[in-house]
Chain A
Amino acid sequence: MKVEVIIRDKKKKITLPDNSRMKSLLEKINAKEEEYVFSRNGKIVLSDEKLKEGDKIKLFPVISGG
């Protein structure tokens, strides 16, 4: 399956095995869980969240100037 990932203003399509969870997506793009808050289709979720084809995932970086 494919999901769309948005970090800051950059968008990319990522291919994952069906029924993957957010955790696997983070691993795949080399993003550490503690460094991001993430949403799936506009809703904040935990890393156990199961993803579906066409999901829109947004990653909000935690580390940045206060």
Chain B
Amino acid sequence: MIKVKCSLCNKKAVIELKYANKKLCEKHFTLFYEKRVRRTIVKNSMLRRKDKVAVGVSGGKDSLVLLYLLHKMRYNVEAVLIDEGIKGYRDKTIPYVEKLCKELNIPLHVFSFKEEYGKTLNETVKKRKRPACSYCGVFRRSLLNKAARRINADKLAIGHNLDDETQMILMNFTRSELLRLARAGPVVGIVEDDRFVQRIKPLRECSEKENVLYALLTGIKYSDVECPYAGEAFRSTVRECLNMMEEKHPGTKLGILHSFDKLLPILKEHFQEVGEVNACKVCGEPTSGEICKSCQMKKEIT
């Protein structure tokens, strides 16, 4: 029986990385993966050794792999979890987070929509004027920032992977949302303002598939329950399109990401607003306008 061998040793390959023209065994994939994340962190100056890192965790593969790996790299990490109060979803994913945090002895902080906004997402959408995910996205982001600040973190690490990033790039590009693009990137929120905790994305060069494989090989148990609120339809189209291109032309996703990274300084120069950061008149959180996005949305649903 023919066995497909690892490109670096005699062992059996567990993954084919077409974009890198490699087939790798368990051990060599793990090393390859960890090296890449380390490189992403260094290349983008994401972390300093003394930084305290809040890791936004959901219980899914990406965020748990991120938590595990930053801990393995001996960064000072603490986990923050946002409980939106989505029944049949969040309550099922939380135990996975608790389990990993306990095993690795990492402090876990839970912040809930109910406590912060007075309503769970389930309650919020009863009065919604937009898709559930719009509220969720804005509330989550704002609450993650607050949470990171409350635990005195220097950085907030989030589990966005190569697929998330390339989808975001293509979606914004297609809609001509160049200001949004200018605000994205490996490190977000460079604004010198201590109310903003810089967000970093150490897994942005790792595909979803690589994250699943890494989780399986290292024994990280994660939840793959899907959120009951269907995501944006346009995103699914973009995802399918990118997957098709990647299959026919391996390296498409990394190519898009790297081109974006090269364009980013130019985008920032041309599109980023220079206005100062104000304190929201309602909640005091940082905002470029008078009232922050999260308070505007809160008003909509009350």
- B-binding residues in A (CB < 8 A): 8, 34-35, 37, 39, 44-46, 48, 50, 60-66
Which B residues between 207 and 252 are near A, CB-CB below 8 angstroms? 208-209, 212-213, 216-217, 224-227, 239, 243, 246-247
Say how far A9's CB is from chain B's closest CB, in angstroms: 10
Give the distance in Å from the alpha carbon of A65 to the alpha carbon of B225 in the complex.
Answer: 8
Lowest 3 A-B CB distances belong to which pairs?
A: A66-B62, A44-B14, A64-B224
Say how far A26's CB is from chain B's closest CB, in angstroms: 14
Residue of A nearest to B93 (CB): A65
With A39-B216, A46-B14, A48-B4 known to touch, is A64 a contact of B26 (CB < 8 Å)? no
Chain B residues closer than 8 Å to A34, beta-carbon distance: 209, 243, 246-247
Residue of A nearest to B231 (CB): A65
B63 contacts partner chain A, Cβ-Cβ < 8 Å: yes
A37→B209 contact, CB < 8 A: yes
Query: Would you list 28 pairs from A and B whose C-beta atoms are within 8 A, ordered by A residue?
Result: A8-B224, A34-B246, A34-B247, A37-B212, A37-B213, A39-B216, A44-B26, A44-B216, A45-B14, A46-B14, A46-B15, A60-B216, A60-B224, A62-B209, A62-B212, A63-B208, A63-B239, A64-B224, A64-B226, A65-B58, A65-B60, A65-B225, A65-B226, A65-B227, A66-B58, A66-B61, A66-B62, A66-B63
Given contacts A44-B216, A66-B61, list 7 more A-B pairs with CB under 8 A: A8-B224, A37-B212, A60-B216, A61-B224, A62-B212, A64-B224, A65-B227
Give the distance in Å from the alpha carbon of A44 to the alpha carbon of B215 in the complex.
Answer: 12
Give the distance in Å from the alpha carbon of A34 to the alpha carbon of B253 in the complex.
Answer: 14
B160 contacts partner chain A, Cβ-Cβ < 8 Å: yes
Residue of A nearest to B1 (CB): A50
- A-binding residues in B (CB < 8 A): 1-2, 4, 12-16, 23, 26, 58, 60-63, 159-161, 164, 208-209, 212-213, 216-217, 224-227, 239, 243, 246-247
Give the distance in Å from the alpha carbon of A8 to the alpha carbon of B92 in the complex.
Answer: 14
Chain A residues closer than 8 Å to B16, beta-carbon distance: 46
A60→B227 contact, CB < 8 A: no
Chain A residues closer than 8 Å to B15, beta-carbon distance: 44, 46
Residue of A nearest to B23 (CB): A46
Contact of B208 (CB < 8 Å), options: A8, A46, A50, A62: A62
Chain B residues closer than 8 Å to A39, beta-carbon distance: 216
Chain A residues closer than 8 Å to B161, beta-carbon distance: 66
A64→B60 contact, CB < 8 A: yes
Residue of A nearest to B214 (CB): A37
Give the distance in Å from the alpha carbon of A48 to the alpha carbon of B16 in the complex.
Answer: 11
Say how far A8's CB is from chain B's closest CB, in angstroms: 7
Chain A residues closer than 8 Å to B225, beta-carbon distance: 64-65
Say how far A2's CB is from chain B's closest CB, in angstroms: 20
B4→A66 contact, CB < 8 A: no
Give the distance in Å from the alpha carbon of A52 to the alpha carbon of B63 in the complex.
Answer: 36
Give the distance in Å from the alpha carbon of A64 to the alpha carbon of B246 in the complex.
Answer: 19
A39, A48, A61, A65 — which one has the most chain B CB atoms within 10 A of its CB?
A65
Chain B residues closer than 8 Å to A48, beta-carbon distance: 2, 4
A66→B227 contact, CB < 8 A: no
Residue of A nearest to B213 (CB): A37
